[in-house]
Chain A
Amino acid sequence: MQIDKNQLLRFTTAGSVDDGKSTLIGRLLYDSKSIFEDQIEAVENSSKKKGHEGVDLAMFTDGLKDEREQGITIDVAYRYFTTPKRKFIIADTPGHIQYTRNMVTGASTANAAIILIDARHGVIEQTKRHTFIASLLQIPHIIVCINKMDLIDYSEEVYNDIVSQFEEFSSKLLIKDVRYIPISALLGDNVVNRSENMKWYQGSPLLYELETLHISSDINKIDARFPVQTVLRPQREGFIDFRGYAGRVASGIFRPKDEVTILPSGFTSTIKGIHTEDGDLEEAFAPMSVAITLEDDIDISRGDMIVKTNNQPEPKQDIDAMLCWLNTDEAKPRAKYTIMHTSNEQRAMIKEVVYKIDINTYTRNTEDKSLKMNDISRVKLRTTKPLMTDDYRENRNTGSIILIDESTNETVAAGMIL
């Protein structure tokens, strides 16, 4: 394994037990030998208790007590596996409509989404919902797995039919990269190994796709943005005048001698050095955590953003966003919330709900102005001070926000800036 080259790929799987989602994850873990013998033993024991014969692959993904008792997934669970080519993080989310918020959560950091379709049923409402969320959250790659091919005699015709159904409805959405794979998660066809039963399929098995997806271009390398998390002032020998701005590069590339502007103050300076404990760097790009020092003494604190002078984000106090409501408490009209955007925190008011989206039909509802759990709506926000924003479509890190209810401290909404 080439550790110095291997990348990390995060993907999300949305779907219900009926689609065979848990079976697919179980299959990936099992066939990539990521499941340990004592885990297999534990699942065998539980399978027996429930009266199943053999190992139920789906049980490898069961988490909390309530879920195992009810046989459902109620939250995002993270799974890990590694192959000689990559390390994978799966955000395993339930697919039912009442779990939209979990799907959105899992999708927010994903490089790729696996959308499962039961070959017997073709594209259904749930497929449209998952695809919409993947597109809304701008997951760069979508892999549509047409599952249970074994139950339709591995029919190429049925497969082609489903592919064109998918092409048709998804043409309305903004999707950069989509690919299709006919699989049987239960029997293993085209999951890790190429299927012997579908010679007509010219593409690669799922795992190969996951191992080779080109993801290094998914991060924005153009717009240099560095949100300051905290200031490092060691004030000890050797570092008496050291004043480092600690943060993680949100996008773009920074180098010493770059001319930079500090927002919101607008002061300009030049990068003196980029520092880590392992030594100074010639350049830093997303998502590297570093400390930056500047040539000039400027008052900078958490929430400020260092950007290149020739490429600046837009300071906005009136923000148009797609908002997903995450809380059981409905939004109160014109209520004020704490808004978090990169390391910056302000207060915000929801000034207007423009429309709500029906995520099954992709239609807009301009009548219903309420914001309830799992609703996805276009809103207008007003903040107390300007936020340094980019469009979410261009930049996931500087285009995303969350809202926090000040009376409960809970995260109540997630937004994508338009």
Chain B
Amino acid sequence: MSKYYLNYLDELESEAIYILREVYAQFQNPVILFSGGKDSILVTHLAKKAFYPCKVPFALMHVDTGHNFPETIQFRDDLIESLGARLIVGSVQESIDKGRVQEEKGKNATRNALQITTLLDAIEENKVDCAIGGGRRDEEKARAKERFFSHRDDFGQWDPKNQRPELWNLLNGKHFEGEHFRAFPISNWTEMDVWNYIKRENIEIPSLYLAHEREVVKRNGSWIPNSEFLKLEEHEEIVTKKIRFRTLGDITITGGIESDADTLEKVALEVSTMRQTERGNRSDDKRSETAMEDRKREGYF
């Protein structure tokens, strides 16, 4: 006798596939925002499932800060080749060169906020009407109120107080020219769900997520990887540690954690015992209590 209910991972998968198909049906030129992180890899994997046996019908858009982990770029290029998909790169360096944005100054300068302009420029240049992201509501308090289909005005801005109500499974993607949408198919997944699913589906992810030896420096309680962009402070010392990353952002701001979890099984187990949120090692979120909401209003991911 077979059962007539889905387990929660299957239900989350089915929901995400439904949303991706709605994006395809309701928009002219949707793209997947691809960062090389596990969440955007997951969204891409779900898109493969949603349209099988067709190819993924979305281009992948990468906002390249120039401060990447080399592993991420390699992973991105391999994935693009295996999907046969188109890659669109928005370059922060180009935005700087063109004078669209200015590099931050000071000790903790990053290119994190600069991405907003590059992203919005790339969306406009490529006439993208829906950018699919791997944002999850459990990540951050401002994201807890996101819709599956999230409207952006013609300045690319999010107005959290004036969102369209989203009822049942009826998604309203109607928009005027120049406006665009962000779609979040994995809104209802938690970090644990993502790992359990990656493990179950055996999805390939960058080796950075698994424990490995790396040169790092302790900063604000996190292990920041050594790279050509790192400016050592006095008293700071480069050491080699066995670490892994819980999230992947710019190499300049992504802190690793000490870990021995070098397989997907071990990572899933480790995540289930974590007592810190995954973004706790992201210095971009630590700037103020409303750092994420403020960036999102302006058009951040």
- Interface locus among A150-158, A231-239, A258-266: A231-239
Task: A248 to B170: give the CA distance in the assembly, Å.
Answer: 12
Q: Is the CB of A338 within 8 A of B190?
A: no
Of A5, A74, A283, the contact of B161 (CB 8 Å cutoff): A74
Check if B29 is an interface residue, CB within 8 A of chain A.
Answer: no
Task: A402 to B48: give the CA distance in the assembly, Å.
Answer: 30
A88 vs chain B, min Cβ distance (A): 9
Contact partners of A109 in chain B: CB under 8 A: 167-169
Q: Is the CB of A38 within 8 A of B276?
A: yes
Produce 1/0 per residue, A75-108, CB < 8 A to B.
1111110100011010000000000011011001
Q: Is the CB of A79 within 8 A of B144?
A: yes
Task: A7 to B274: give the CA distance in the assembly, Å.
Answer: 23
Contact partners of B14 in chain A: CB under 8 A: 248, 287-289
Contact partners of A343 in chain B: CB under 8 A: 25
Produce 1/0 per residue, B280-301, CB < 8 A to A.
1000000001100100000000
Contact partners of A135 in chain B: CB under 8 A: none
Task: A248 to B187: give the CA distance in the assembly, Å.
Answer: 18
Q: Is the CB of B53 within 8 A of A234?
A: yes
Check if B15 is an interface residue, CB within 8 A of chain A.
Answer: yes
Check if B59 is an interface residue, CB within 8 A of chain A.
Answer: no
Contact partners of A65 in chain B: CB under 8 A: 290, 293
| Size class of the contact patch on chain B | 35 or more
Check if B138 is an interface residue, CB within 8 A of chain A.
Answer: yes
Task: A287 to B16: give the CA distance in the assembly, Å.
Answer: 11
B135 vs chain A, min Cβ distance (A): 12
Q: Is the CB of B25 within 8 A of A230?
A: yes
Q: Is the CB of B190 within 8 A of A37?
A: no
Task: A341 to B169: give the CA distance in the assembly, Å.
Answer: 10
Check if B218 is an interface residue, CB within 8 A of chain A.
Answer: no
Check if B166 is an interface residue, CB within 8 A of chain A.
Answer: yes
Q: Is the CB of B18 within 8 A of A64?
A: no
Given known A8-B11, A80-B138, contact A233–B160 (CB-CB < 8 A): no
Contact partners of B161 in chain A: CB under 8 A: 64, 66, 74-75
A206 vs chain B, min Cβ distance (A): 20
Task: A108 to B168: give the CA distance in the assembly, Å.
Answer: 5
Q: Is the CB of A101 within 8 A of B51?
A: no
A258 vs chain B, min Cβ distance (A): 16
Check if B12 is an interface residue, CB within 8 A of chain A.
Answer: yes
Contact partners of B53 in chain A: CB under 8 A: 232, 234, 236, 238-239, 242, 244, 275, 277
Of B12, B141, B169, B200, the contact of A63 (CB 8 Å cutoff): B141
Q: Is the CB of B141 within 8 A of A75?
A: no
Of B2, B5, B172, B293, the contact of A216 (CB 8 Å cutoff): B5
Task: A108 to B148: give the CA distance in the assembly, Å.
Answer: 15
Check if A168 is an interface residue, CB within 8 A of chain B.
Answer: no
Q: Is the CB of B142 within 8 A of A64?
A: yes
Q: Is the CB of A63 within 8 A of B144?
A: yes
Q: Which of A42, A87, A221, A276 has the most CB of B within 10 A?
A: A87
Contact partners of B240 in chain A: CB under 8 A: none
Q: Is the CB of B8 within 8 A of A404?
A: no
Contact partners of A146 in chain B: CB under 8 A: none
Task: A238 to B55: give the CA distance in the assembly, Å.
Answer: 13
Q: Is the CB of B21 within 8 A of A75?
A: no
Task: A4 to B10: give the CA distance in the assembly, Å.
Answer: 9
Contact partners of B275 in chain A: CB under 8 A: 36-37
Check if A353 is an interface residue, CB within 8 A of chain B.
Answer: no
Q: Is the CB of B174 within 8 A of A64?
A: no
Task: A94 to B163: give the CA distance in the assembly, Å.
Answer: 16
Q: Is the CB of A36 within 8 A of B280?
A: yes
Task: A402 to B10: give the CA distance in the assembly, Å.
Answer: 27
Check if A253 is an interface residue, CB within 8 A of chain B.
Answer: yes
Check if A136 is an interface residue, CB within 8 A of chain B.
Answer: no
Given known A37-B275, A78-B187, A283-B2, contact A229–B137 (CB-CB < 8 A): no
Task: A244 to B53: give the CA distance in the assembly, Å.
Answer: 9
Chain B residue nearest to A278 in the complex (CB): B49
Given known A89-B188, A230-B25, contact A411–B11 (CB-CB < 8 A): no
Q: Is the CB of A285 within 8 A of B4?
A: yes
Check if A414 is an interface residue, CB within 8 A of chain B.
Answer: yes
Check if A370 is an interface residue, CB within 8 A of chain B.
Answer: no
Q: Which of B15-48 contact A (CB under 8 A)?
A: 15, 17-18, 21-22, 24-25, 48
Of A289, A326, A404, the contact of B21 (CB 8 Å cutoff): A289
Check if A363 is an interface residue, CB within 8 A of chain B.
Answer: no
Q: Is the CB of B137 within 8 A of A288?
A: no
Contact partners of A283 in chain B: CB under 8 A: 2
Check if B145 is an interface residue, CB within 8 A of chain A.
Answer: yes
Q: Is the CB of B277 within 8 A of A411?
A: no
Task: A7 to B137: give the CA distance in the assembly, Å.
Answer: 19
Of B55, B138, B160, B176, the contact of A64 (CB 8 Å cutoff): B160
Chain B residue nearest to A338 in the complex (CB): B174
Task: A401 to B170: give the CA distance in the assembly, Å.
Answer: 8
Q: Is the CB of B168 within 8 A of A397?
A: yes
Produce 1/0 per residue, B124-138, CB < 8 A to A.
000000000000011
* Contacts A/B (CB < 8 Å), 20 sampled: A4-B7, A46-B289, A74-B161, A79-B138, A87-B193, A89-B188, A108-B168, A215-B5, A216-B4, A244-B53, A246-B21, A275-B53, A285-B4, A287-B6, A287-B14, A288-B14, A289-B14, A397-B168, A411-B164, A414-B167
Which 9 pairs show the lowest CB-CB distances between chains A and B? Answer: A216-B5, A277-B52, A8-B8, A289-B17, A409-B174, A108-B167, A87-B8, A289-B14, A38-B280
* Beyond known contacts A287-B14, A409-B174: 12 more, CB 8 A cutoff: A8-B6, A8-B11, A66-B161, A77-B145, A79-B144, A80-B190, A101-B165, A109-B167, A216-B4, A288-B10, A326-B165, A402-B168
